[in-house]
Amino acid sequence: MKAALFLGCTVPVRAQNYELSARQVARKLGIDLVDIDGFGCCGYPIGSVSSRAALWMAARNLALAEREGFTDLVALCSACTASIAEARIELEHDRARCEAQAALDRLGLTYSGTAGVRHFARFLYEEVGPERIAASVVRPLEKLTFAVHYGCHYLKPSRAHRGPDEPEAPHTVQALVEATGARVVSHDRALSCCGGGVLAVREGTALAMARTKLDAVMAAGAHALVSICPFCSVMYEGNQKQIEKISATAYNLPVLYLPQVLGLAFGLDPAEIGTKQNRIKPKDVLAVLGL
């Protein structure tokens, strides 16, 4: 099984443990994640300033994958996935496609529409499946309890994600986590936003949004929060100490990326999946596993 790995901007800079664990888990499952020379920004950061430029940036990445013969782009970032998926829908319209191709002509690239994009978690669910994940477990996580954070861009807009999840009742990430033997707890903030979208505009509001999720996860008794998006992890892990100062509350709640959880279940050493790079060290999680 082979797919083009799309890292985006945030993962290589702020979430190397996410990339490392994803590559290790992919190898365990026989998935060849291939790096494409020239992949750039997905276009998301400038979409609100220039939707045309954002569209062309996404089209360029799709065209690069097509040139290398790939039909699947696998992204680790939810925003990257949504941005490229939405662009692909927009490129179905003749005018947008012609304008994008005119821009690509200057780069010697051609967009034909044969390549699509999926989040790594959705790719695992659809192409590997919970049953095969369960069959690959050598270190069952049945003594651990997790809370799953889906985030916004993994699910919405629903027209961009033509997959197995219902936006208001998702199940794919939970199914993958439960395949390890771990228990997933539910709480009333399960589908709430991390606040990252307003961090640069209203920091206090963003941190308050993240705090409500941390409070709910702690009340549910989870050992850790499972994330599938680097910027969601920035909110819940990178800003956790700041939230603790503001709220006078001690959380010390680890935030693990999905492939880190899978890697532990697959018998990988914690160092192989980058747990030392986690801001909030998952000491209690590892202790439960005798690591």
Domains, in order of start, for the chain: 2-120 (1.20.1050.140), 137-288 (3.40.50.11810)
DSSP state, residue 119: E
Handedness of CA 233, 236, 242, 244 (dihedral sign): negative
**Strand locations in 63-215 (E):** 72-75, 116-119, 145-148, 183-184
CA-closest candidate to residue 227, choices 186, 194, 178: 194
- What pTM value is reported for the model? 0.96
Structure tokens at 105: 């002509």
Distance from C-alpha of 210 to C-alpha of 235, rounded to nearest angstrom: 6
| Beta-carbon contacts of residue 238 (< 8 Å; ≥ 6 apart) | 14, 279
- Give residue-wise pLDDT tens across range 109-162: 999 999 999 999 999 999 999 999 999 999 999 999 999 999 999 999 888 887
* pLDDT the model gives residue 161: 84
Low-confidence ranges of the chain (pLDDT < 70): none
Question: What is the DSSP-derived secondary structure letter of residue 36?
Answer: P
- Give the CA distances from residue 290 to residues 84, 155, 276, 287, in Å, rounded to whole numbers and listed in that order: 41, 35, 16, 5
**pLDDT tens-digit readout, 28-60:** 999 999 999 999 999 999 998 999 999 999 999
CB atoms within 10 A of CB 215: 16
Task: Find the helix packing angle between 94-105 and 51-67, rounded to 10°.
Answer: 70
**What pLDDT score does 59 carry?**
98
| Sign of the dihedral defined by the CA atoms of residues 10, 152, 158, 56, in that order | negative
